Amino acid sequence: MDTGLFKTIDSTSTIIIQEDGEAKEKDRIKRLPGQPQVEFSQYGGYVTVDKLAGRAFYYYFAEANEYSKKSLPLLLWLNGGPGCSSLAYGLMQELGPFRVYSDGNTLYKNKFSWNNAANVLFLESPAGVGFSYSNRTSDYSNCGDKTTAADNYLFLVKWLERFPEYKDRDFYIAGESYGGHYVPQLANTILYHNKKANRTIINLKGIAIGNAVINDETDYTGIAATDKADNDALFLDIYNIYAPLCFGGNLTTHPKRASVTNFDPCSEYYVYGYFNRADVQEAMHANITKLDHDWDLCSDVIIGWTDSPSSIIPLLQEILGDGLRILVYSGDVDGRVPVTSTQFSLAKLKLPILTEWHPWYLNGEVSGYTEVYRGDLTFATVRGAGHEVPAYQPARALSLIQHFLAGKPLPKSS
C-alpha cells in the first residue's frame, strides 16, 4: 500500500468533527428554477475541507424517493478531467434526475436517473472545479491525485456528520474517465482509515468505473486501434465516434423538443447557461463567495497537477484483496478510452475468468457484453455508448448500475 497517499490526513481517524445540526436543513433545495415536480428531496451546499486555507467543496445530493431512500445505498459520483465538474456531466448530462432544455432556463426529468437505484451524491472536486474554491490561490497550482483523494475523504467524513442517517449505509463510489484514478484512490483511502481506526468509518462496499483511465501503457496500446478516428477528431466526436456534432451552441428562446433517449450534442451549452444564472446559484446555495470567474464545465482555474501515477492496477488489486466488489464498464463507441484499452488494462490483473464473455440484455436487445473475474470484478461493455455511458445509453446504464448495486449478474437472456 502506498501510504504516501494518506500523509496529509493521518489524523482524521482521531478527529471528532462537529457539524451544525441545522446544516443539513439549510442545504435543502426547495426547488430549482424551471424544475418539474419531483418526489424526492434534494440538497446542495458547501463542506469545508481545510478551514485554514478556506478550501470548500460544493456538492449536490439527490435522494431516492420517499418510499425507497431508506433501503437504497449511498453512491458518490466523480467525473474526471482532471478538473471537470460532476454537476456539468454526471448530474445534468448523464445520470442525474434532470436535463436542461435548449433555452438554458428549464429542466426536464431523466426517467433513467440513478436515484432510482441509489441516493446519489455529486461532488465538484478538487478546489477550482465548478463552484468549489479555495481562498489560498496556490492550491490551484498544487492539485494532484494525492491531495484530491485526501480532500475527498475529508469531505465524506464531514458530509456524513451532516447526514448521519447515511453513516452506516452501504456506500459505493462511481465515476468515469480520469475517475479511474479518483475512484480507486478514494476507496483505498477509506480502507486505510477504516483499518487504522479499527472500525468502519465509511461502509464502503464497492466501486464502479466507466471508460476509465487505468494504466498508461495499455491505455495507449488500446488507443492505437482508434488512431484513425483520433486523426479525424476535428470532424467527429472522439468521445463517441458515431455521435452528431454540435454546430450551433446558442441558447434558444423556446426550448427545443427533447428526450433523454435522444442525445443532444449541444447540451454542454445549455448546462453552462443554466448554472451561470444567479437565481439558479441562489437556489442551489452555490457561489456564496462570488467567484471571480464563471462556473464552467471543466476548470480553467487549476493550472498545475503535481502527481498522477502511471498505473492504478496495484490499487485495484488491493481493493479486490480487501473484499470489495468492482464494476468496470465501457461504452463501445468511445475513441478516447476505448474498449480495447480497458481490456488490455484488465489483463494486467491476471485474474481467472469465472463467467466467460457473453451478451447481456435489456428489453429484448443485446445491450453489451460481459465477463466476470475471480475476486468479484465484473467487466461490461455498453452497446452504442460513448465515453459518458449514461449520456448516450441511459436505460442500459441504469440497468447496469442496478444489477451491480444489487449484487446480481447482468441478464443472460431477453
Beta-carbon contacts of residue 18 (< 8 Å; ≥ 6 apart): 161
The number of C-alpha atoms within 13 Å of 156 and in the hemisphere containing its C-beta is 33
For residue 121, what are the β-bridge partners? Answer: 61, 76
Give catalytic residues, as residue numbers. 177, 334, 387
The grid coordinates of residue 372 equal 466476470
Q: Are 327 and 211 in contact (CB under 8 A)?
A: no
Cell of 318: 488491493
